[in-house]
Copies of this chain bind each other. A is one copy, B any other.
Amino acid sequence: MNLRDACVEAAREVIAQEGIERLSLRDVARRLGVSHQAPYRHFPTREHLLAEVMRRCYAQFAEHLQDRPSLSDPHADLHALGERYLGFALSHPLEYRLMFSTPWPQATEQAELTADANQAFDTLRHVMARVHGVKSPTPAVDLDALFVWSTMHGLAGILSANCTTHLTLSPTVHKKAVAHVMGLIERGLSDPTRQG
C-alpha cells in the first residue's frame, strides 16, 4: 500500500476508534510510524485528508448501489435499489455516517467530493426516471427520488438506533417493518391519482 492509501486507512481507524474530532495528520503519521511531515506530501491539511476519506465512502457506496442484477421492470429495480441501500447502511455504519451525518470538510477538494456524492444520488435518479417513464431526471423525478431517499435514510437510521429496540413494539412489528415501509413507498409512488 502506498503512503497516500495508508494515510486514508489510518484516518478511518482514528475516526472509528476515537471520533472525528481527534483526527489529525500528526496522529496519522504516528500510527503509520512515519515522520510527522510525511503525510503532508499527500494532504496539505487535515481537511484534505478527511475529504479524501469521505470521497472514497461515496465512491464505494455508488459502486455498491450499481452492483445489482439488471431488472427490466422499473418498480422491481427501485425495490432492489432500496435493498442495496439498506444493506450498505447497516453493514457499513462508519462510511454511512461519514457520508450523511458528518459536516463536509472546509477544503478546496469539494469538487471531487461533489462528483462522487452526485454519482451515488444519480443511481437513484435514473431508476426513478424509468419509474416515471422519462429519459432523464425532471424536477418531478428528483422530488420522488428525495422521498425515496428520505424514507430509506430514515429506515436505516431507526433500524440502527438503540432506542428502536427499547420501544414497546411487538416482535411482529419489528419483523415486518422493512417490508411495510417499502410497500408504502411503492404504493405512494404508484398511486394513479397523484399529479406530476
Q: Select one of B149, B167, B172, B189 contacting A117, CB under 8 A.
A: B167
Residues in A15-66 with C-beta less than 8 Å from chain B: 18-22, 58
Does A110 touch B at the CB level, under 8 Å? yes
Per assembly, the copies of the chain total 2
Residues in A137-192 with C-beta less than 8 Å from chain B: 139, 142-144, 146-147, 149-158, 161-163, 166-170, 172-173, 176-177, 180-181, 184-185, 187-189, 191
Residues of B within 8 A of A177 (CB): 143, 146
C-alpha gap A147/B103 in the complex (Å): 27
C-alpha gap A170/B156 in the complex (Å): 26
Residues of B within 8 A of A149 (CB): 154, 158
Chain A residues touching B, majority SS: helix
Closest 5 CB pairs of A and B: A154-B154, A188-B188, A150-B154, A153-B154, A104-B162
Q: List 11 A-B residue pairs with CB atoms under 8 Å apart, sorted by A's residue number.
A: A18-B21, A100-B161, A100-B163, A101-B101, A104-B163, A117-B163, A117-B167, A143-B176, A144-B180, A185-B188, A191-B191
- Taking A110-B166, A144-B184, A146-B173 as known contacts, 19 extra A-B pairs with beta carbons closer than 8 A to each other, sorted by chain A number, are A21-B22, A101-B161, A104-B162, A104-B163, A114-B166, A117-B166, A118-B166, A118-B168, A139-B176, A142-B173, A143-B177, A147-B184, A149-B158, A150-B157, A152-B154, A154-B157, A157-B157, A187-B191, A187-B194
Q: Which residues does A use to contact B, with CB under 8 Å?
A: 18-22, 58, 97, 99-104, 110, 113-114, 117-118, 121, 139, 142-144, 146-147, 149-158, 161-163, 166-170, 172-173, 176-177, 180-181, 184-185, 187-189, 191, 193-194
